[in-house]
Structure formats: structure tokens, C-alpha cells
Amino acid sequence: MRALIVVDVQNDFCPGGALAVPDGDAVVDAVNRMASEAPFVVATRDWHPPDHGSFAAQGGRWPVHCVQGTPGAELHPGIDASQIDVVVEKGQVPDREGYSGFEGTELERLLSEHGVDAVDVAGLALDYCVKATALDARRAGLNVTVHRGATRAVEVSPGDGERAVEELRAAGVEVVD
């Protein structure tokens, strides 16, 4: 069975958020279309404690974002939550980045229990959490397709998005437009 993993389409990663991905909210319609056709949909969301190590105040590289229980950590209001079967919270361990939806979560078990052997991956951000989740899905033995039209890159350094695509393809992940 094929499943859709919607990665971190949260308020803080969309325009106006604490760590906005350029044009991040542009993925919402594509994600909703994909979810309407998927037999099983898992959404991940960053769910950081207030003292998460990735925050600049703790010596990390990012501004405070997606803190547990805050509006910024909620899924973007345009996401049709009725199409999501399970929400997996990640990034809860203070000293781990937690980019991947598989890191420290039950995602692999959930997919296995539902007989999933292939996943489509969409969401934010292509060059961090989408890439890490897709690579871990591949390592878990799944066939993985990342949908470019349903993701956007942060581009901390110019070209990060394209480098992520190259890394994904080199790992056997199919990247489609």
C-alpha cells in the first residue's frame, strides 16, 4: 500500500511564521489534493520543547519555532485535517535536531502496521525535514517519491534545494514535479 507523509506544514514554517519557508503556504493545495487520493495519510509536525537545542538561544542555528502547544506549532489552517489519519510529533528531544519524521517517533511502526511499502512525501522544508524524512523512509526499505510541487526549500544557502534533490536521487528516492 502507498501512503502520504505530509511533513511539517505548520504555521511557523509559512509566511508570517517564526521560521517561514519562502512561499511555504503554496504547498497547501497540492498537499490536500494528494491527501484526498491517498489511502493512508500521516502528517508530521515539529513539536519542540521551549528549550530545544536547535534554537539560537540554546546555541542552535534556528529562531524559536514550533514550540509545543503554541499556534506556530499547529498545522496550517488550510490543511484539510479531516484527510489526515495520524499526526506524528517529532523534534521533542532537546539535544537532537529531529528533522526526520522517523527520528524518535512511531512512524515506521505505523507504516508497517498499515502494510505500507511505498510513500509519497510532501511538505516543508525540502532541504531539511522533507529530505531527512524521505531518506529515512528509503533506509526503512520503502519506495519513496518526493513531489517537488508539494514542497518548498528554506534555502539557507542558495542552491540548498537542488542539492537536496541530488542527494535524494543518489539515495534512490524518486523526485517528481
CATH number of domain containing 128: 3.40.50.850
Three cell numbers written together for 63: 529562531
Q: What is the pLDDT along the chain (177 residues), one digit of tens a residue?
A: 999 999 999 999 999 999 999 999 999 999 999 999 999 999 999 999 999 999 999 999 999 999 999 999 999 999 999 999 999 999 999 999 999 999 999 999 999 999 999 999 999 999 999 999 999 999 999 999 999 999 999 999 999 999 999 999 999 999 998
40-78 burial, b at 16+ Cβ within 10 Å, e below that, comes to bbbbbbbbbeeebbbbeeeeeebebbbbeebebbebbee
Could you list the active site residues?
8, 90, 129
Our count of domains for the chain comes to 1
Q: What is the pTM of this model?
A: 0.97
> What is the distance between the alpha carbons of residues 10 and 132, in angstroms, rounded to a whole number?
17
Angle of helix 160-170 relative to helix 131-139, nearest 10 degrees? 10
Contact between 5 and 44 under an 8 Å Cβ cutoff? The reply is yes
- Say which residue the cell 520503502 belongs to: 142
105-123 burial, b at 16+ Cβ within 10 Å, e below that, comes to bebbebbeeeebeebbbbb
Q: What is the DSSP letter of 21?
A: P
Please tell me the predicted confidence (pLDDT) of residue 4. 98
- Structural domain of 91: 2-176
